[in-house]
Amino acid sequence: MNHDEHAPALDDWLTPPHHRQGLHRVEQFVRCAPITRGDAAVRELPIGTEQLDWDAVAVDAAEGREISGDEFLRRSHTDGILVLRGDEIVFERYFDDFTPNTTHIVMSISKSFCGMLAGVLASMGALDVAAQVRYYIPELDGSSFGTATVRQLLDMTAAPNYDMSYLDPAAEVHAGDRAAGWRARRPGDVAGTRAFLAQLRGAGKHGSAFQYCSGTTDVLSWVIERAGGSGYREMMGEHIWSKIGAEADAFLTVDDHGTPYACAGMGMRLRDLARFGRLVLDGGQRDGVPVIPADWIAETRRGGHFATTAESDAENTGTYKNQWWIPGDSHESFYGVGIFGQYLWLDPSADVVIAKFSADDSPVAETPESVHALAAIARAATRTAQEI
């Protein structure tokens, strides 16, 4: 319970400017449960002797001019940013009351964690990505998701009747938040994420186009539970979080029934997000031990079949695969992203991981300015490495 008279209320913690407190005080507003780090040794991230020359970072801004790295961090209301080159921290900065020990919700980067856990179960033979949702979840037969395949969930090519318009209070994305306990419920709302998903009716043609939808990830996490025979949060801890050498437990928001909000509810420390990124960039191996299947990560990096933006906007067109975004740049980058500016950017060519927590004013998850900025930071880190 939140006793700070100046802190936001339940309906405000995701609303600017209150979200500048809410995003790293989530447990004061929403039920949270831990994802255990286990008892493994912490993976050390030494400070690099050659630091990123931050003054050399220049970003193509939205208005068509160049801005400095500092201006980008200010404009995106950055809480913390960390750049890894190899295993070394070459840039790390925190703002206001945020510290290395502060947890921050990662919003839709949670989806990227879900995609990697699906790959673990698929490699074990527990999850059939060609199966339809109703095979694993008979309760969803006849719903918007019943005849979609697991593969279509993974690649966001399922076509549910689900509006993701953050600026429309009547959209399903807000009803999903209320069902999950993220916002105060209204008369007629159902209580619980899975009750909300089961009531959805109507769908387009699954597999025919890209349709980004948070509910799709929540269905995927439900499938993962049925396939794995255990709780989603427990499996995330067992198969991934306990393997990355995290400093601390992560958390996952849960509804009244303890159901995880897998689409957006994970939170963690910034360095631990970077450790997860390092594991993925290393082909899923930690100290030579496979954690996430290398072929699953390779498949993710190759991208999906459908453009995520209009083909006419060639500069910003990318694809989506296994709950990750693939911009199709020359560095073969791929990334997870969440609203208000959460990013986990992986650049294989530069061997760079960028983890960023923000409280941007825009609920739009991905902006061209941020994508350009993270690519520029990765290139700057590469130049620093080449100068050594």
Domain 30-126+231-381 matching CATH 3.40.50.300: the answer reads: no
**pTM recorded for the entire structure:** 0.95
CB contact at 8 A, 316 and 368: yes
pLDDT for position 8: 62
Report the 10 Å Cβ neighbour count for 333. Answer: 24
Question: Is pLDDT above 50 for 234?
Answer: yes
Q: 119 pLDDT band (50/70/90 cuts)?
A: very high
pLDDT for position 386: 59
Q: Which residue has the tokens 């387009």?
A: 204
Supply 301's token pair. Answer: 């990096």
DSSP per-residue codes, 203-258? B--TTSS----HHHHHHHHHHHHHHHTS-HHHHHHHHTGGGTT-SS-EEEEB-TTS
pLDDT for position 63: 78
CB contact at 8 A, 107 and 265: no
Q: 65 pLDDT band (50/70/90 cuts)?
A: confident
Question: Is pLDDT above 70 for 141?
Answer: yes
Averaged over 163-173, what is the pLDDT? 88
Q: What is the 3-state secondary structure (H, E, C) of 140-181?
A: HCCCCCCCCEHHHHHCCCCCECCCCCCCCCCCHHHHHHHHCC
Averaged over 180-208, what is the pLDDT? 95
CB contact at 8 A, 161 and 200: yes
Question: Is pLDDT above 50 for 4?
Answer: no
Q: Which long-range contacts (CB under 8 A, 24 or more apart) does 222-225 make?
A: 222/136, 222/137, 222/194, 222/197, 223/127, 223/133, 223/136, 223/137, 223/150, 223/153, 224/114, 224/117, 224/118, 224/121, 224/127
Q: 49 pLDDT band (50/70/90 cuts)?
A: very high
pLDDT for position 363: 77
Q: Which residues lie closer than 8 Å to 283 by C-beta, 6 or more apart?
A: 294, 297, 298
Strands (E), the chain: 32-35, 58-60, 66-68, 78-85, 88-94, 104-105, 250-253, 266-268, 285-286, 289-290, 319-321, 324-326, 334-338, 342-347, 352-358
Of 308, 366, 349, 282, nearest in space to 109 by CA: 366
pLDDT for position 372: 87
**How high is the mean pLDDT of the chain?**
92
Q: 5 pLDDT band (50/70/90 cuts)?
A: very low
Q: 112 pLDDT band (50/70/90 cuts)?
A: very high
Question: Is pLDDT above 50 for 314?
Answer: no
Domain boundaries, the chain: 30-126+231-381
Question: Is pLDDT above 60 for 307?
Answer: yes
Averaged over 299-305, what is the pLDDT? 96
CB contact at 8 A, 279 and 243: yes
Q: What are phi and psi of 18, to 5 degrees?
A: -65, -25
Question: Is pLDDT above 80 for 251?
Answer: yes
Q: 388 pLDDT band (50/70/90 cuts)?
A: very low
Q: Exposed, middle or buried: residue 2 (CB in 10 Å: 0-12, 13-18, 19+)?
A: middle
Amino acid at 365: A
**Enzyme catalytic residues:** 108
> Which of 61-65, 72-76, 86-90 shows the lowest mean pLDDT across its residues?
61-65
Question: Is pLDDT above 60 for 6?
Answer: no
pLDDT for position 185: 93
